[in-house]
Amino acid sequence: MSDVLSDAGSDSNHDDSQEDVMTPAELIAKLEEAWLNEKFSPELLENKSEVVECVMEQLTHMEANLQRVKKGDAKASVHRMEIDRIRFVLSSYLRSRLQKIEKFFPHVLEREKSRGEGEPSLLSPEEFAFAKEYLANTETYLKAVALKRMPPNLQTVDMLKAVPEPCLDSFVFLRVKERQENILVEPETDDQREYVVDLEEGSQHLMRYRTIAPLVSSGAVQLI
């Protein structure tokens, strides 16, 4: 893998843009982290389009390098496998996101519309367009087939109420990357004292997603 990727790697090193220069290995690691987090999180996570774009550029470089390798060379099949593997992870990541967008479409659109100026975006522009089209398409269908034949006060459906929200209380497995102190697991009620834990680096836990959601977006924990 190293010699196929190193050509691509040296390209990005000559780049004098402001963004952090990542080695190809770091980029793929970032992709895999994003992929696992998205797979195991009950809600749609922040979009990582820079990672997606960089990985696609990487794949293009690798494919080009592969063309130059002599046919039938043993190295070719190893590189091919590597390209397939990365493409699978990337496709799976994008599919996870699309599935959640379709599943929670009105909520996802609402979150994106009401997000503040400086906040990172949930959807890429293309995902946003897709979500809007999905909503419009579905509404058109429901109206044409049934809603417009219903009594006047029932001809619309409030999608935000009709479509269930993601269950943030579902349990997820996680590994701690950065040590966390005093994570509130259960708030204090009349019957019980508040339950607080410290998360040691490298430890693994099974917890309610809602509790650790901010730690996933900050990168302090990794869902597994």
Partner 1 sequence: MFCEKAVELIRELHRISDGQLPAFNEDGLRQVLQEMEALYDQNQADVNEAKSEGRAELIPSIKVRHCCLLRDQRCVTAYLYDRLLRIRALRWEYGSVLPANVRFHMCAEENFRMTIVVLSQLQWFSQYKKSLASFMRSLGGGEGLDITQDMKPPKSLYIEVRCLKDHGEFEIDDGTVILLKKNSQHFLPRWKCEQLIRQGVLEHVVS
Residues in contact with partner 1 by CB under 8 A are: 52-53, 55-57, 60, 71, 77, 80-81, 84-85, 87-88, 90-92, 94-95, 98, 102, 126-127, 129-130, 133-134, 137-138, 140-142, 144-147, 149-151, 153-154, 157, 162
Q: Which is nearer to partner 1, 97 or 205 (CB)?
A: 97
DSSP H or E stretch at residue 198: strand 195-199
Cβ nearer to partner 1, comparing 145 with 206: 145
> Are 27 and 82 spatial neighbours (Cβ–Cβ below 8 Å)?
no
Residue type, 31: L
Taking the complex as a whole, the smallest distance from the CB of residue 35 to partner 1 amounts, in Å, to: 11
Task: Please list, in sequence order, all residues whose beta carbon lies within 8 angstroms of the beta carbon of residue 87, skipping any fewer than 6 positions away.
Answer: 59
Shortest distance (Å) from residue 182 CB to partner 1: 39
Nearer to partner 1, 135 or 207 (CB): 135
Cβ atoms within 10 Å of 203's Cβ, excluding its own = 13
Q: How far is the CB of 162 from partner 1 (least distance, A)?
A: 6
Residue written as token pair 């909520």:
107
Instruction: Give min distance, CB of 31 to partner 1, in A.
Output: 12
CA distances 124 to 1, 3, 62, 175, 178, Å, are 30, 32, 25, 27, 28
